[in-house]
Structures are given as structure tokens and as C-alpha cells.
Amino acid sequence: MNERIQPGAIAKPVGPYCHAIKVAAKQLVFVAGQIPIDKEGNIVGVDYNDKIRNLQTIDLAAQVTQTMLNVKDALEAAGASIKDLVRLDTYVLMSAMNEYKTVGMKAKHDVLVGVQVAGATVFVAGLMPADALIEISGIAAIE
């Protein structure tokens, strides 16, 4: 059983995560960095008819949701679930930082459905492909 730990000597988390997780696992599942790409290979949340694309024309919430669904699908293909996540690292394009703090975090936690994980959020200068505003990787522990 995975034990979520919130040490009393550390300030309470500012979001739905925990400071540490103690894992008793038979298997670990490492999910590679997932981007907001659908099954057909298209980046979601981007209007490719918009010739002057910029941050305002890319739907960050849609990208976060698709990325989290990709993490979920990868976990399920490996015999795990969102509830088995013990670490989730999020990389967000620096120019989307303010929007991520509002709509992006909500979209991510809508897929997590109350599961608290350890992890980090890092704001970066760029991602591949260029229209991706987010990338998420994770580790799950299966008992």
C-alpha cells in the first residue's frame, strides 16, 4: 500500500499534492513525457487554420486534459491506474505560466480526481513540438 505523507514540520501543500509517498511495490511503471497529442497524432487545442498562432490561440486547458489522458492511457496499458501514481512531473512553457496556475492546474486535477502525488512543476523555455504548451511524465507503483 502506498502511504501519502504530509510531515508536520513542513508547511501544508499549496495544492493537491503530498510531500512524500512511501511505496511498497512489486512493480514500477515509468511513463515517458506525454504531450497534448491525440490518437491521430494531432496536437490538440491548436487551430491550424490560424495563420498568426500565438499563446492566446492555443487552448491550454484542452492540452492539459489531453496530456493527462495520455498519461492515464499509458498507465492503463501497463496494468496501472491514476490511483497508482506516486510521482508526476509537469513541464509548462514559461509563457503559459499564469494561465497554467488557473485553468491548467484545474484541468490536471480534474483527471487526477483527488489523487495526491509527489512531483514537481517546472516552467521551461520550450517544448517539442513547438505548439505543445505542456509535457507530463509520471511514475506509478503497483502492489
What's CA 34's distance to the chain center, in Å? 8
Any idea where the domains of the chain sit in the sequence?
A: 3-142
Give the model confidence (pLDDT) of 39-94 as tens digits: 999 999 987 776 665 556 789 999 999 999 999 999 999 999 999 999 999 999 99
117 and 12 Cβ atoms separated by less than 8 Å: no
Q: What integer pLDDT is reported at residue 56 of this predicted model? A: 61
Cβ-based neighbour number of residue 55 at 10 Å:
11
Q: Kindly report the length of the chain.
A: 143
Dihedral in degrees, nearest 10, Cα atoms 112, 115, 118, 124: 10
107 and 53 Cβ atoms separated by less than 8 Å: no
Superfamily of chain region 3-142: RutC-like (3.30.1330.40)
Predicted structure pTM score = 0.87
Q: What integer pLDDT is reported at residue 51 of this predicted model? A: 62
120 and 86 Cβ atoms separated by less than 8 Å: no
Give the model confidence (pLDDT) of 21-38 as tens digits: 788 878 999 999 999 999
Nearest to residue 84, comparing CAs of 1, 9, 12?
A: 1
